[in-house]
Amino acid sequence: MKQLVNSMTGFGQAQGKIDQTTISIEVKTVNHRFLDFSFKMPREFLGFEDAMKQKIRQYFNRGRIDVFINISGEGVRSKDIQVNWKTLDQYLKALEEIKEKRDISSDIEFEDLLQLEGIFIEEENAEVDGEVQDKIIELLEEVLQKVNAMRQDEGAALKVEVLNRINNVKDYTNELEQHIDTIQKEYQERIKERIHSHLNDTAQDESRIIQEVAILTDKSDITEEITRLFSHVAQVQEAVNLHQPIGRKLDFITQELLRETNTIGSKSNDVRISKIVVALKSEIEKIKEQVQNIE
């Protein structure tokens, strides 16, 4: 079963040999909105790129995946040795001319021909042997397992951090809820005092004042926002236990948490509410920062 929360940051490396050729593979992953690939490797391996992408998709759903492949020792392509007959004939003709003009009778030995430059031509085959591709995929899978383990370890730490922060958000929301009745009553009294101060004593209409107070109080009511905050907290707590990528989901929820918190801040001028709103925004911003690295 797949890890519940995965980070998008990881690193792994592995090395293997085919005959006298050493192949080294490194994979580094960082956060990215989608699954993005980058390969830095010899041209011989370009034909394997699709197979490597397919293998990577078996492990990761999001993140930038940087793959580095290096080879040392012998090349991975087989070579054919060809005789450059045209050049050899030119050498032999020149040697015969030297013998005739300088009266040299020594015979040309085979060892002498080996010293001549350009007699033999090495030609690499266009295709890399299938054994090489199998080895690369084998090494890549070994590396991906290491990267995945690192992403899982960091993901576990991110889960703890997010849950701790969201619990703080829940505590602050509970604190807001406890102040609702008291703050609304205080708010109603302040409004009534302000209205009374602007009305002539003989022209006061108590029912009209009460109606205006009720309208203004309703506009300042934060009950709905608090209810939605509790709902979003529960969604985060549920999401971190899902067996699927949750980064985008958590990112959306944190945006909603911020939106509700900002609405509460704009509705209330109470100092106590303002302090809690500041604390709430701080916790949510920290959650949002951590969520950016969750797959």
pLDDT value of residue 1: 44
**CATH no. for 155-291:** 1.20.140
Query: Between the CA of residue 20 and those of 71, 73, 77, what are the distances in Å?
Result: 10, 6, 12
Q: Where are the domains of the chain?
A: 10-74+129-151, 79-124, 155-291
pLDDT value of residue 80: 67
State in words which class domain 10-74+129-151 has.
alpha beta
148: exposed, middle or buried (C-beta count within 10 Å: 0-12, 13-18, 19+)? buried
Q: What is the pTM of this model?
A: 0.72
Per-residue pLDDT of the chain (295 residues; tens, 9 = 90+): 455 799 999 999 999 988 888 999 999 999 999 999 999 998 888 888 999 999 999 999 999 999 999 988 765 555 667 788 888 788 888 877 877 777 777 676 777 777 778 787 766 655 666 788 889 999 999 999 999 999 999 999 999 999 999 999 999 999 999 888 776 666 666 666 666 666 655 455 666 656 655 555 555 678 889 999 999 999 999 999 998 899 999 999 999 999 999 998 887 777 888 899 999 999 999 999 999 999 9
pLDDT value of residue 272: 86
Burial 164-182 (b: 16+ CB within 10 A, else e): ebbebbbebbeebeebeee
